[in-house]
Amino acid sequence: MSQLFSPISMRDVTLPNRIVVAPMCQYVSEDGSANDWHLMHLGQFAMGAGGLVFTEATHVSPEGRITPGCLGLWSDENEQTLKRVVDFCYQYGTSVMGIQIAHAGRKASNRIPLNGGGPLQPDENPWQTLGPSDRGYGDWPAPKALDADGLERVKQQFVESTKRADRVGFEVAEVHGAHGYLLHQFLSPLSNTRNDGYGGSIEGRMRFPLEVFKACRAVWPEGKAMGMRLSATDWVEGGLTVEETVEVCKALKDAGCDFVDVSSGGNDPGQKISVGPGYQVPFAEKVKEEVGIAVMAVGMITDATQAEEIVATGKADMVAVARGAMDDPRWAWHAAQALDVKIEYPPQYVRCRPDIWRAGHGSFVPKK
């Protein structure tokens, strides 16, 4: 009995297994809209990479994008083009579809990585970035600190994108509060130097992210699952700590959060990360133990045995893979084979399930 391939339910949503395809930015959108690349990219994962497949970070406004090529969900066109992709995944695939709803804050207005990354230059149509304070990311341009009207505007942008995500057909939503983007910027004392009710102690720093989450949860259907991605630590002395993240997670649980996707880092160029197999799993384990909320573990989880051990020993409820899924879009198929588990294949591909074709069966209909 594999624990990795046991189902898990959150509200009315049941995932067929505990493997999650993590969000992966693609930088090929135009004005935030999805295209054929997204149809291929997400479609291939929906066929057999995991029980839950997330979109890349999907931004709530043009100024909230990391780059001009990032996906968004602020317009009718964004909604229509993304719905085409999600409908395709549900028609042909076997995965539950999830969306990551995001705002890049002070890390917005960047070149796409294939063009070198880094802030857009004056001749590249940059835009004014936003943040909790006017402190930039390293030597990047300083953001405009959000005032009361700005906070309300951004919160409503999250709400409107959440409503659109429901209409698109997503069953799981994840609010992005990690990797140095806007909501993480509020949580970290490295980027949040406010002296009002949205800064100072962790209670003040978590206030806006919690307001955003609660507002999104209020318009997300009761039966659908919603969670949040968090960076457990900044990996910088004086930054956000794991202990503070536990407190954030307790507040999120009280606010109706169904899961926490536990990552780390991304908010300061001076971070010193100790990378290795499963290096972020202890953060997820700590949140699970101290908060009693479902957690996803992510980061250098690369093979079936490792993933099985993480879930079977209770360190996390789900494991998320990204680069591993890009390398092998049938990650879950091959993990199931390694663990001697039979799983559902799309009808068009069932003839390649090993228990059928390797046994020499001539029929394309699997044995019961």
For tokens 């990650």, the residue is 331
In sequence order, the β-bridge partners of residue 294 are 259
Give domain status of residue 368, yes or no: no
- Residue 357: its pLDDT value, please? 75
Task: Measure the CA–CA gap between 98 and 117, rounded to whole angstroms.
Answer: 27
pLDDT at 362 over 70: no
pLDDT at 157 over 70: yes
In sequence order, the β-bridge partners of residue 295 are 260
Give domain status of residue 366, yes or no: no
Question: If we measure between CA atoms, which residue out of 186, 190, 212 comes closest to residue 199?
Answer: 186
Single out the catalytic residue among 181, 279, 345, 349.
Answer: 181
Q: What CATH number does the domain containing 108 carry?
A: 3.20.20.70
76-92 and 148-168 helices, crossing angle to 10° = 40
**Residue 226: phi, psi to the nearest 5?**
-140, 135
Mean local confidence (pLDDT), 109-137: 96
Give domain status of residue 88, yes or no: yes
- Residue 206: its pLDDT value, please? 98
Mean local confidence (pLDDT), 49-62: 98
Question: If we measure between CA atoms, which residue out of 120, 94, 137 comes closest to residue 353?
Answer: 94
Are 178 and 234 in contact, with CB atoms under 8 Å apart? no
- Residue 334: its pLDDT value, please? 97
Give domain status of residue 367, yes or no: no
pLDDT at 290 over 50: yes
pLDDT at 17 over 70: yes
Q: Would you place residue 356 in the very low, low, confident or very high pLDDT band (cuts 50, 70, 90)?
A: confident
pLDDT at 360 over 60: no
pLDDT at 363 over 80: no
- Mean of pLDDT over the chain: 96
pLDDT at 80 over 50: yes
pLDDT at 153 over 50: yes
Mean local confidence (pLDDT), 326-340: 97
Q: How many structural domains does the chain have?
A: 1
Give domain status of residue 3, yes or no: no
Give domain status of residue 226, yes or no: yes
Q: Would you place residue 84 in the very low, low, confident or very high pLDDT band (cuts 50, 70, 90)?
A: very high
- pTM, to two decimals: 0.95
Identify the residue with better confidence: 356 or 49: 49
Give domain status of residue 364, yes or no: no
Q: Which of 75-89, 138-152, 348-362 has the lowest mean pLDDT?
A: 348-362
Q: Are strands 144-145 and 172-177 parallel, antiparallel or unpaired?
A: unpaired
- Residue 359: its pLDDT value, please? 60
Give domain status of residue 80, yes or no: yes
Mean local confidence (pLDDT), 255-280: 96
Domain region containing 286:
8-357
Share of the chain above pLDDT 90, in %: 94
Question: If we measure between CA atoms, which residue out of 236, 201, 200, 229 comes closest to residue 213?
Answer: 229
pLDDT at 308 over 80: yes
Known active-site residue 181: yes
